[in-house]
């Protein structure tokens, strides 16, 4: 069965520090991979996605993620965190067919200290 | 261009009552999905429409939940009768046919008391 794990439920970093949010997946084939962010009172916003090609993917707001097939991982990174990055982050996998019946990870809540 | 719109944004109902959630997808998007996040748990897939047809409803928890998408435009998700464990945030998303990027609405927070 497909599954996504995000080992860290809650992470706190200082503003300006680097960030890495972990994501591991279990999937029978090469999936599509996504990171979404949900800020307080907002919907889910797509940060970035991996379909194929370059395994280092650039997204919005200065985020990037690297697909590592050997580790079944798709970790999200940002070199310098801003206070506005405080939110909940979700990793998701989707099938390579029409339709995105995503399987989401449990989410990682990010707090940013001034 | 308008995004995915959901309403109400928040609904509080008593156990045993009926609630209907609505989702307006992005115009022209054939795919429409419902997800929900029960408190403290993962976001779970409920069902997927392609136009007005249910493509996959494997995630619907039980027969108290009924989703419709008349005419292939907006969709409704009715919970009847609501139970306490139905509380959570219900998300709707849409995408173009064959397109793999789904756009999510802001969600409806349902509280059953």
Q: Kindly report whether the peptide bond that precedes residue B8 is cis, defined as omega within 30 degrees of 0.
A: yes
Residue B45 lies in a domain: yes
Query: How many structural domains compose chain A?
Result: 1
Do B100 and A46 make contact, defined as CB atoms within 8 angstroms? no
Q: Angle CA(B91)–CA(B95)–CA(B101) in degrees, nearest 5?
A: 95
Residue A97 is predicted with a pLDDT of 66
Residue B102 lies in a domain: no
CATH number of the domain to which A93 belongs: 2.60.40.10
Segments forming the whole domain that contains residue A77? 3-113
Q: Kindly report whether the peptide bond that precedes residue B81 is cis, defined as omega within 30 degrees of 0.
A: yes
Beta strand pairing call for A103-104 and A32-38 = unpaired
> Which tokens belong to A102?
């995503």
**Which of A50, A59, A97, A100 would you mutate first to test chain B, the one with the most B CBs within 10 A?**
A100
Choose among A90, A109, A63, A24: nearest CA to B45.
Answer: A90
Measured in angstroms, the CA of A45 and the nearest CA of chain B are apart by: 7
Residue B103 lies in a domain: no
Residue B65 is predicted with a pLDDT of 97
Q: Could you read off the pLDDT tens digit of each residue along chain A, which spans 114 residues?
A: 789 999 999 999 999 999 999 999 998 777 889 999 998 878 899 999 998 888 999 999 999 999 999 999 999 999 999 999 999 999 999 876 666 678 899 999 999 999
Query: How many structural domains compose chain B?
Result: 1
Secondary structure of chain B: what % helix, strand, coil (to 5)? 5, 50, 45
Segments forming the whole domain that contains residue B37? 5-97+108-112
Residue of A nearest to B6 (CA): A43
Rounded CA-CA distance B15/B40 in Å is 20
Q: Is B36 on the interface with A (CB under 8 A)?
A: no
Do B100 and A32 make contact, defined as CB atoms within 8 angstroms? yes
Residue A31 is predicted with a pLDDT of 82
Measured in angstroms, the CA of B83 and the nearest CA of chain A are apart by: 23
Q: In chain B, which stretches have pLDDT less than 50?
A: none
Do B45 and A45 make contact, defined as CB atoms within 8 angstroms? no
CATH number of the domain to which B76 belongs: 2.60.40.10
Strands of B5-7's sheet, edge to edge? Answer: B5-7, B19-24, B75-79, B65-68
Nearest to A99 among B44, B48, B103 (CB): B48
- Contact (CB, 8 A) for B47 and B57: yes
Residue B60 lies in a domain: yes
Residues of B in Cβ contact (< 8 Å) with A49: 100-101
Residues of A in Cβ contact (< 8 Å) with B109: none
Residues of A in Cβ contact (< 8 Å) with B31: 98-100
């Amino acid at each position: 069965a497909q599954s996504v794990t995000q080992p860290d439920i809650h992470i706190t970093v200082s503003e300006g520090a680097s960030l890495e949010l972990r994501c591991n997946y279990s999937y029978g084939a090469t999936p599509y991979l996504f990171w979404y962010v949900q800020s307080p009172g907002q919907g889910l916003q797509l940060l970035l996605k991996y379909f194929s090609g370059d395994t280092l993917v650039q997204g919005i707001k200065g985020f990037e993620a690297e697909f590592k097939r050997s580790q079944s991982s798709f970790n999200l990174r940002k070199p310098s965190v801003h206070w506005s990055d405080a939110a909940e982050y979700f990793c998701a996998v989707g099938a390579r067919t029409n339709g995105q019946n995503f399987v989401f990870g449990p989410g990682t809540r990010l707090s940013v200290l001034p | 261009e308008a995004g995915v719109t959901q309403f109400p944004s928040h609904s509080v109902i008593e156990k045993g009552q009926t609630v209907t959630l609505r989702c307006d997808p992005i115009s022209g998007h054939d795919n429409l999905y419902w997800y929900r996040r029960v408190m403290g748990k993962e976001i779970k897939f409920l069902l997927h429409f392609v136009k007005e047809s249910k493509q996959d409803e494997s995630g619907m928890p039980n027969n108290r939940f009924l989703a419709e998408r008349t005419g292939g435009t907006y969709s409704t998700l009715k919970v009847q009768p609501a139970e306490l464990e139905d509380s959570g945030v219900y998300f709707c998303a849409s995408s173009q046919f064959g397109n793999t990027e789904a756009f999510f609405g802001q969600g409806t927070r349902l509280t059953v008391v």
